[in-house]
């Protein structure tokens, strides 16, 4: 329903635009498509101002409308929050081909209507303040420039399908890296076949370092801006392994002409954003050591790289072509993000960068983390996807009690679904086949998939109904059946913490997270249903004393560790400016790490499934 709603709106926009040009003269719609050329310059990098010129030109003899609208996107695909990029625009000017001023007015927060008076050749210039380095925003300073075209370049309303060129005037000695192909003409000119492609191609301009490798004759480059404690050769080798394992997983075909990893190394940055034939990555520059840090870098690489299939080509209903003026709703982010998160670990395993035991330890921890979150019983994976615009990207102290993370839960559903398919098909098929089928049957046929399509393809590959699985765990909010699926690979989840004869003792449990902020111990989170929640402790409360003794976090944790389930803890708190005392009767919990272990006497079929899933024999 939402999909059709979206297309109806797009159609309405096209009809309105069509009506404007038709009112002047019934022009051929094809012939009225203008040439759109952008020039981006940065004459004073230290001022953070990116200067944009957009030129709109039609051939002689073609009728041009009396007014045209330039629109700044309010969001960028892959990051599902309205970021209002238009707030950084200033000094908008429009002129005709002779430099004569054209009247313009803003008609809403992100649209500039220019009275072109039928001019076939006109230009607008504007400046964009760029001083925020994330993978989805823009930064220009004396060290470098990085931007997302969706956060910089306006489109001509009604012409998102138009090709365009982008010329970049880079200060010496900076170079330009982008996934866009070069265009004939001046140095650093690129072309995009439409605005979805233009907006899907971030740009780095700096004195970056480049590591390159080839896979099946296709060039991949890692463009690195910033210093860090990485080993270049190891990084090149391991990223290549990730690329090769991913391509193998998806059937061996490479769906791009070249691929660019843009990597920013800073003291405090992180995250990644996927694009068609590139990705932008941020990583803490000294986090490549020890190896646990390096592995988190490889996970990030595998995640963003796998997205080139899952979301960029295998597209959920509403995710492309995009509406850049408002939210684009889909129930499928648990697939687009969650299953990508599952595959990031599978790819590292297949590339030989983690062991099967490390893979299972990571899975067990993700199960345990999900089970700690009361919100898992309040929100389904589909609901989490749909509401990302107001929930996932707008978290607050109640989020733990009201939300589930579609990355984390989606990744777990991916793992369980993979094992369900292996179970039903007796090891003949897997989730890999589902992803390849979606690639061949949807992307290659130029169509997006719906939630019903995803279930139908999963069932087709499994050779069985998965109505129960999808009903309970994807659309529903029921507790996941870990063991029901793990058994396919001869595994079970052990939550007892019993490793030998020793059974872990039940410990006193409050149910609140505390942080030390300077000399204040503050409640950062209260879990629904916990003793803290039921007896009135609030997020934001400052705990001054425990049993009449002044506390630090260290002191508080140490005293609580001495208490037993059922004991009293007398808290003295500041709530806002008011001092009060709050007696808490403690509950009990066993805080043992979850483990995924082999079942007793696994069958040959279970052993075979484990082997084909994780690439090695099942051992104790």
State which residue, 411 or 458, has the beta carbon closest to Zn ion.
Answer: 411
Of 415, 437, 441, which Cα lies nearest the Cα of 250? 437
CA 162 to chain centroid, in Å, comes to 27
Q: Work out whether the CA dihedral 560, 563, 568, 570 comes out positive or negative.
A: negative
Least Å distance, CB 337 to Zn ion, is 5
* Chain residues in the site for Zn ion (CB under 5 A): 337
Least Å distance, CB 531 to Zn ion, is 36
State which residue, 392 or 482, has the beta carbon closest to Zn ion.
Answer: 392
Element (H, E) at 301: helix 291-306
State which residue, 225 or 337, has the beta carbon closest to Zn ion.
Answer: 337
Q: Which residue is nearest to Zn ion (CB)?
A: 337
Give Dmax over CA atoms of the chain in angstroms.
89
Q: Tell me if the bond preceding 321 is cis, omega within 30° of 0.
A: yes
8 Å CB contact between 140 and 288: no
State which residue, 337 or 387, has the beta carbon closest to Zn ion.
Answer: 337
Least Å distance, CB 340 to Zn ion, is 5
How far apart (Å, rounded) are the C-alpha atoms in residues 206 and 48?
Answer: 14
Which two structure tokens, joined as six digits, stand for 315?
A: 């597209």
Least Å distance, CB 76 to Zn ion, is 13
State which residue, 102 or 308, has the beta carbon closest to Zn ion.
Answer: 308
Q: Work out whether the CA dihedral 338, 340, 341, 346 comes out positive or negative.
A: positive
State which residue, 337 or 432, has the beta carbon closest to Zn ion.
Answer: 337
State which residue, 279 or 325, has the beta carbon closest to Zn ion.
Answer: 279
Of 258, 376, 354, which Cα lies nearest the Cα of 297? 354
8 Å CB contact between 123 and 94: yes
Which two structure tokens, joined as six digits, stand for 601?
A: 């006497």
Torsion of CA 304, 306, 307, 313, to 10 degrees: 150
DSSP assigned state of 470: I
Least Å distance, CB 342 to Zn ion, is 11
Q: What are phi and psi of 613, to 5 degrees?
A: -80, -50
Which two structure tokens, joined as six digits, stand for 344?
A: 């990031």
State which residue, 296 or 539, has the beta carbon closest to Zn ion.
Answer: 296
Which two structure tokens, joined as six digits, stand for 526?
A: 């209260």
Least Å distance, CB 218 to Zn ion, is 22
Least Å distance, CB 474 to Zn ion, is 18
State which residue, 403 or 411, has the beta carbon closest to Zn ion.
Answer: 411
Concatenate the DSSP letters of all residues of 436-462 into one string: HHHIIIIITTT--B-HHHHHHHHHHHH
Identify any residues that bridge with 545 across adjacent strands, giving them in sequence order.
550, 572
State which residue, 196 or 337, has the beta carbon closest to Zn ion.
Answer: 337
Q: Work out whether the CA dihedral 578, 580, 585, 589 comes out positive or negative.
A: positive
Element (H, E) at 496: none
Least Å distance, CB 134 to Zn ion, is 14
Least Å distance, CB 304 to Zn ion, is 7
530: left (phi over 0), alpha (psi -120 to 50) or beta: beta
Least Å distance, CB 416 to Zn ion, is 20
State which residue, 273 or 489, has the beta carbon closest to Zn ion.
Answer: 273
State which residue, 238 or 337, has the beta carbon closest to Zn ion.
Answer: 337
State which residue, 204 or 337, has the beta carbon closest to Zn ion.
Answer: 337
State which residue, 337 or 459, has the beta carbon closest to Zn ion.
Answer: 337
Which two structure tokens, joined as six digits, stand for 2?
A: 């939402």
Residues 6+ apart with CB under 8 A from 481: 416, 472, 473
Least Å distance, CB 203 to Zn ion, is 20
8 Å CB contact between 474 and 413: yes
Least Å distance, CB 283 to Zn ion, is 15
Residues 6+ apart with CB under 8 A from 136: 76, 78, 79, 83, 148, 151, 273
Least Å distance, CB 487 to Zn ion, is 30
State which residue, 70 or 381, has the beta carbon closest to Zn ion.
Answer: 381
Concatenate the DSSP letters of all residues of 563-586 into one string: --TT-EEEEEEEETTEEEEEEEE-
Least Å distance, CB 334 to Zn ion, is 12
Q: Which residues of 544-573 are buried (b: 16+ CB within 10 A; e: fewer)?
A: bbbeeeebeeeebeeebeebeeeeebebbb
Chain position carrying tokens 């490889």: 298
Q: How long a stretch of residues is the chain?
A: 620
Least Å distance, CB 70 to Zn ion, is 30
In 240-388, the DSSP E strands lie at 258-266, 271-274, 278-284
């Amino acid at each position: 329903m939402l999909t059709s709603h979206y297309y109806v709106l797009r159609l309405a926009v096209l009809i309105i635009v069509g009506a404007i040009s038709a009112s002047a003269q019934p022009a051929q719609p094809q012939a009225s498509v203008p040439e759109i050329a952008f020039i981006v310059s940065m004459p004073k990098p230290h001022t953070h101002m990116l200067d944009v010129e957009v030129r709109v030109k039609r051939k002689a003899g073609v009728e041009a409308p009396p007014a045209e609208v330039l629109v700044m996107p309010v969001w960028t695909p892959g990051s599902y929050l309205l970021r209002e990029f238009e707030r950084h625009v200033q000094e908008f000017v429009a002129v005709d081909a002779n430099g004569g001023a054209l009247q313009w007015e803003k008609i809403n927060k992100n649209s500039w209507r220019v009275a072109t008076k039928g001019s076939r050749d006109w230009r607008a210039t504007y400046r964009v303040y760029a001083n925020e380095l994330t993978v989805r925003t823009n930064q220009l300073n004396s060290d470098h420039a990085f931007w997302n075209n969706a956060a910089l370049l306006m489109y001509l309303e009604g012409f998102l399908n138009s090709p365009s060129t982008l010329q970049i005037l880079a200060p010496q000695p900076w170079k330009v890296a982008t996934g866009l192909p070069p265009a004939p003409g001046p140095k650093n000119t690129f072309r995009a076949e439409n605005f979805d492609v233009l907006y899907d191609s971030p740009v780095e301009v700096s004195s970056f370092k480049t590591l390159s490798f080839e896979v099946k004759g296709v060039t991949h480059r890692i463009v690195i801006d910033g210093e860090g404690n990485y080993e270049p050769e190891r990084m090149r080798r391991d990223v290549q392994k990730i690329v090769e394992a991913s391509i193998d997983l998806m059937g061996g075909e490479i769906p791009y002409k070249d691929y660019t990893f843009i990597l920013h190394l800073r003291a405090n940055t992180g995250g990644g954003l996927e694009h068609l034939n590139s990705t932008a990555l941020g990583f803490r520059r000294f986090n490549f050591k020890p190896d646990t840090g390096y592995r988190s870098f490889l996970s990030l690489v595998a995640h963003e790289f796998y997205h080139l299939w899952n979301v960029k080509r295998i597209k959920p209903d509403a995710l492309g072509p995009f509406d850049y003026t408002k939210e684009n709703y889909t129930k499928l982010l648990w697939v687009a993000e969650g299953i990508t998160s599952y595959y990031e670990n599978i790819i590292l395993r297949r590339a030989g960068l983690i062991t099967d035991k490390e893979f299972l330890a990571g899975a067990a921890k993700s199960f345990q983390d999900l089970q700690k979150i009361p919100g898992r019983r309040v929100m389904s994976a589909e609901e989490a996807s749909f509401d990302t615009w107001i929930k996932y990207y707008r978290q607050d102290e109640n989020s733990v009690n009201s939300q589930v993370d579609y990355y984390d839960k989606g990744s777990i559903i991916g793992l369980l679904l993979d094992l369900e398919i292996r179970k039903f098909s007796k090891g003949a098929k897997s989730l890999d086949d589902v992803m390849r089928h979606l690639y061949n049957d949807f992307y290659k046929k130029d169509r997006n998939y719906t939630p019903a399509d995803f279930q139908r393809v999963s069932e087709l590959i499994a050779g069985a109904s998965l109505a129960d699985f999808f009903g309970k765990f994807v659309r529903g909010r029921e507790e996941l059946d870990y063991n029901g699926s793990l058994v396919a690979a001869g595994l079970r989840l052990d939550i007892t913490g019993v490793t030998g004869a020793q059974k872990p003792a039940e410990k006193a449990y409050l149910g609140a997270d505390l942080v030390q902020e300077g000399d204040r111990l503050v409640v950062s989170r209260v879990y629904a249903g916990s003793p803290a929640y039921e007896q009135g402790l609030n997020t934001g409360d400052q705990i001054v004393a425990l049993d009449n003794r002044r506390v630090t976090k260290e002191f508080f944790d140490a005293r609580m560790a001495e208490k037993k389930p059922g004991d009293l803890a007398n808290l003295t708190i500041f709530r806002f400016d008011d001092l009060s005392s709050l007696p808490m009767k403690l509950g009990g919990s066993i805080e043992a790490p979850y483990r995924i272990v082999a079942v007793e006497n696994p069958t040959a079929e279970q052993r075979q499934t484990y082997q084909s899933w994780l690439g090695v024999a099942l051992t104790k």
